[in-house]
Amino acid sequence: MKNKVAALFQQSFGAEPAIITRAPGRIEFIGNHTDYNGGTVLGAAVDGALWVAVSPRTDGRRRWRSGLSDTVVETGGELVKLKGDSSWINYPQGVIDAMGAHGLDLPGGFDYAVESDLPVGAGLSSSAAIELSSALAFLELTQQKVDRETLVKIGRKAENDFVGVPCGILDQGVSGFGQKDHLVFIDCRGPDFSTVPMPGGAHFWIFNTHTKHALVDGLYEARHKECMAAAADLGVKLLADATLELFRQEVHKLSPTVAKRARHIIEEIDRVGKTIAALADQDLAAVGQHLTASHRSSQHAFENSTPELDSLVDQLTTMAGVYGARLTGGGFGGAVMALTDSRFGEAEADQVAEVYRTRWGADPQVLHMRTGDGAEVIRSHSR
């Protein structure tokens, strides 16, 4: 991939890039919508990443090229929100905006190319991957260093403020702190980041439905609001402050819908804790039960699943070798993750795809993912 992004850069701008960076996508392992509620979450960085190549320019022009498009887009020194095919540039532009908000020096002109070996639109957070790889590239360009936590916060701020999605810290945190054969644990209130070893012999499978609810951004925001309303009704700042006991005592103050959302978050935070304990015991069967329980809670209480995602979980959880399965990420479409042992292979994945095709008339995208390392500079300016 290093050569591929360098080649795209060369072809677009006629020179070798000075700097190359990469940042991985992520799987949300468990902890659904807990992040912006101040809760805990576990994620895995995957071995697919977004790769960014940049070189400085002295004339202030900014030229942008993606491997997914044939055109070079040019912007000036001003950050302008772009629409349509060029809207991907809002992510790196948002990073520049967020660097400013953090009091950092901003890059002037540059040439920029991005390539991906992470399936885009598969629910693996290519947005966090482009934010972190861009942030590392712009920091190299301006010869500044920040700690990992700041890097992650810059990525999230880009998405919250410039792109306009009120996401939590999960995606950027996992892309920044990922480690091969580990899960990233985030206590989102700090936020505090650490890693947890993943027991050997576990496999990650992604079944991407390619379905996306038309209102997905609005629905994410609506859930965010419902959670904040629930916290206010329960008399706590964030739902992570509410115990199950408090919830049971005060639930009468909540509307039935808001009560369901709150129960999902409070129980989900509890499941994250239980999952960590099961991982420490190397008890993958118990881990799998928590994963599937998380999905059922999404399906019935948080109502961010879809019939397509539910059918995948229904099918997967009947199969030998599957520890558990759940929707991964924001929901309202997207992908299901299954945790399996080695009895579940290509033939079994094909079988799942076949059942899905018969039911829904479309093929899911099937990916056998490995864990990978977090964001890093591959070629440094100063070298």
Catalytic residues: 171
Which of 381, 382, 379, 347 lies closest to 366 in space, CA to CA? 347
Instruction: Pick the closer one to ligand GLA by CB: 26 or 65.
Output: 26
Are 156 and 89 a contacting pair, CB within 8 Å?
A: no
> Applying CB under 6 A, does 35 fall inside the site for ligand GLA?
yes
Q: What is the dihedral of CA 286, 272, 152, 89, to 10 degrees?
A: 80
> Applying CB under 6 A, does 115 fall inside the site for ligand GLA?
no
Crossing angle for the helix pair 148-157 and 90-101, to the nearest 10 degrees: 120
> Applying CB under 6 A, does 329 fall inside the site for ligand GLA?
yes
Site string for ligand GLA, 148-177 (x = CB under 6 A): -------------------xx-xx------
> Applying CB under 6 A, does 233 fall inside the site for ligand GLA?
no
What is the C-alpha separation between 348 and 357, in angstroms, rounded?
A: 14
> Applying CB under 6 A, does 33 fall inside the site for ligand GLA?
yes
Buried b (16+ CB within 10 A) or exposed e, 257-279: ebbbbbbbbbebbebbeebbebb
- Residue 160 beta carbon to ligand GLA: minimum distance, rounded to whole angstroms: 10
Instruction: Pick the closer one to ligand GLA by CB: 104 or 183.
Output: 183
Site size toward ligand GLA (CB under 6 A) is 11
Residues 134-153 that bind ligand GLA (CB under 6 A): none
Instruction: Pick the closer one to ligand GLA by CB: 40 or 116.
Output: 40
- Residue 168 beta carbon to ligand GLA: minimum distance, rounded to whole angstroms: 4
What is the C-alpha separation between 60 and 56, in angstroms, rounded?
A: 9
Are 166 and 224 a contacting pair, CB within 8 Å?
A: yes
Which of 3, 20, 27 lies closest to 370 in space, CA to CA? 27
Site string for ligand GLA, 3-32 (x = CB under 6 A): -------------------------x---x
Q: Is 185 helix (H, G, I), strand (E, B) or coil?
A: strand
> Applying CB under 6 A, does 107 fall inside the site for ligand GLA?
no
Contact footprint for ligand GLA (CB under 6 A): 28, 32-33, 35-36, 167-168, 170-171, 329-330
